[in-house]
Amino acid sequence: MLFVYYIVFLFLFSVILRPFTTLIHELGHGIPALLLTDKKVTLYLGSYGDPMESFKVVFGRLELFFNKKPFNWNIGLCVIEQQTLSINKQILIDLMGPLASLALSLVLSYFIFFVDLNDHILVILALFNISTYYDFYINIVPSSKPIELHNGTAVYNDGRQILDLLKFKKAPKEYSVGAEHYNNKDYSLAAASFEKVLHKGYSEPIIYQLLVSAYLQIKDNDNALRVNDLYTIKFSETFDSNDYTNMGLIKSFSGVYEEAIKDYNKAIELDANNSLAYNNRGYTYNVIEDYESAIKDFEKAITLEENFAYALNNRGFAKIKLGFKEEGLADLEESMNLDGTNSYCYMNFGVYHYDNKEYRKALEYFEKAKELDTTTYLLDGFIQKTKEKLDL
């Protein structure tokens, strides 16, 4: 009988109590992240970022992936989509996970020591309390041992991340200014601020990452390449999936397509759920006229990110070039409904009309694309070809 008693408690601890304390810890991160950002927050229970072996629950901007094997629910991960946050916000989000565990521990301790309960309930609460204190301890004490995530990258525990963030408090004030400009999509001003940070000798990886991204946003490929070269020399051994995606995009815009595809391959190898890497690789396949491969990538990107306007637009272009014009047009129209300011979508509408020999209509779309973004890749060539058809 005593053996059965212990088996029941072991089951409660491993299948109910540990998963619940892990969930409390991750919600401690996730709820402040929802309040402090305006993008998606994803919590994984039972894995370090694997959505494939999990069932999904969605509450607005909060996604939860529960691993299908409950005995794995003693680990978890919080992923914040918004990449740039102030240091204080990042510290708060990191700190709230352990504090949520500690708060639950204190509540349980009160019931254990100050409330008259029967012995069975006391044992359960004691086990529960051990689990919550354990969560607090292993997360708040800085550890030098990295945690390997599902995508092959590594992170450190909350305590170590908080220590690293405190180091950023020593960064020049231009870092916070640049981060604010970046969040407000003022990428030119962000780039100028981050350049000042580098010139002052503060050369952490995040500065290079943000600077490369800012230059790519404003289509300044030369400066993006310059900064990425410096970043590669210093930190190539720590590159993650996003780094390879950005490097691939620089090479795509530089016309080095095969090298770009290699970078996207590496990005996907590191993170099989990087929808942007699939989209950008597909875009590069479009440019080299490998439309079948391109469509496969766009479909994967759309599977990973619903309502991905760029991927829909790019898939529409590939379908048009393969002769599936009406299917392609439907993709372009859906993309336009999702994002009516995308110059590439207008350009691809122009391609549709150009291929139908409706050159004046095509030129209207090309000029609208030019009006939206003068740097739209390959657009000038389409305009020139169309004007030649119209003898302009």
Query: pLDDT tens-digit profile of 5-64?
Result: 555 555 555 556 778 888 999 999 999 999 999 899 999 998 988 888 889 999 999 999
Residue 297 lies in a domain: no
**What total of structural domains would you count in the chain?**
1
What's the domain range around 111? Answer: 2-166
In a domain, 143, yes or no: yes
Torsion, Cα of 321, 315, 153, 248 (10° steps): 40
Mean pLDDT of the chain: 88
Say what the pLDDT of residue 240 is: 87
* 8 Å CB contact between 233 and 209: no
| 169-178 residue pLDDT tens | 778 888 888 9
Residue 243 resides in a domain: no
Residue 155, number of CB atoms within 10 A of its CB: 14
**Are the C-beta atoms of residues 175 and 192 closer than 8 Å to each other?**
no
Strands (E) located in 31-131: 41-45, 54-59, 62-67, 76-80
* 380 in a structural domain: no
Tell me if 325 is assigned to some domain: no
CB of 94 closer than 8 Å to CB of 162: yes
In a domain, 304, yes or no: no
Domain assignment present for 206: no
Helix and strand numbers (H, E) in the chain are: 18, 6
Q: How confident is the model at residue 296 (pLDDT cuts 50, 70, 90)?
A: very high
Please report whether residue 126 resides in a domain: yes
The residue written with tokens 């969560």 in the block is 135
> How many residues can be counted in the chain?
392
The pLDDT of residue 153 is: 65
* Sequence-separated (6 or more) residues with CB below 8 Å from residue 374: none
Higher-pLDDT residue of 141 and 183 is 141
